[in-house]
Homo-oligomer: A and B are copies of this chain.
Amino acid sequence: METKVNESGFRGLDKSLRIQKITDTAAELFHRKGYRSTTLDDVSKELGITKAALYHYVSSKEKLLSRIYIQALENIFRNTDKIAGKELPPDVRLRLIIQNHIKGIIIQSISMFSVFFTEENQLPEKEFRKIRREKKKYTRIVEEIIEEGISQGLFRKSDPKLQAFALIGMCNWVYKWYKPGPDSYTPEQIADYFVSLLERGYLKGDMEGMQDMPELLRGGKERAGSKKEDYQRLRAKCTELSKIIDEMEEKG
């Protein structure tokens, strides 16, 4: 008999494919149960082989985790650098980055990014630092695009770092709630929606209130002068409101 193909789903696969399958399976289990709580027995059982057999493909559990991190990193960065370097207006670039980010998470695999976002501290010191560096780099890219947008007068004045965190957080959190399925959102829908929300906000109307963001900006202290006092005032009132409510609660 010739080479059995697709026998048990693992044997009879190219070696590189087998390694990929191991990585994916591990990611899936790490995602469901956590890295530390997942035993190599779990992984091997899921694959239909013995624990010891794993060691033919991966030299240690830690190495398995590393592999997941490397892949996740590659998948997010694959297009990011290109997009960021394109000769496009900042808003377009930002939009592309967001789309790429969300598609990356959902299409590549939620499990992989779930691990990527939560198991950092299980990595050996050296890798840990590398990952942290790369994540910061990514934030920095987003931040720079935002800065450009502001300096070109395309975006409202704001704190670019905070805005980058907001944007990235919104996108990353997808891994927490997204459940694939036929009636589920497509990555494109989510990305479009997020872009739309981020670009123009959820408030309707508002015509002339076109000032910049509040003045808690980077540089800091420039008190809210007595500008056209519309949104600013509203905002101030809300803060007041918040205080008043707190006081009332305390009283009963």
Residues of chain A touching chain B, judged by Cβ–Cβ distance below 8 Å, are: 32-37, 79, 82-83, 86, 88, 91-92, 95-96, 99, 117-119, 121-122, 146, 149, 153-156, 158-159, 162-163, 165-174, 176-177, 185, 188-190, 192-210, 212-214, 216, 229-231, 233-235, 237-242, 244-245, 247-249, 251-252
Contact = CB atoms under 8 A, between A and B. Distances in A.
Contacts of A244: 241, 245, 248-249, 252
24 contacts: A37-B122, A82-B249, A83-B245, A92-B238, A96-B241, A96-B245, A149-B202, A154-B203, A156-B200, A158-B202, A162-B190, A169-B173, A193-B213, A197-B198, A199-B201, A200-B201, A208-B231, A230-B234, A230-B235, A234-B238, A234-B241, A241-B244, A241-B248, A244-B248
A173 B195 CA distance: 18
A221 to B, nearest CB: 12
Contacts of A177: 165, 169
Contacts of A210: 204-205, 207
Given A168-B173, A192-B216, A193-B213, A234 B205 contact: yes
Given A238-B230, A245-B86, A204 B154 contact: yes
Contact of A241 (B92, B117, B146): B92
Nearest to A192: B214
Instruction: Please indicate which of the listed interface residues A79, A88, A174, A235 has the most CB atoms of chain B within 10 Å of its own CB.
Output: A235
Q: How many copies does the complex hold?
A: 2
A251 B96 CA distance: 19
Given A190-B162, A229-B204, A245 B235 contact: no
A209 B234 contact: yes
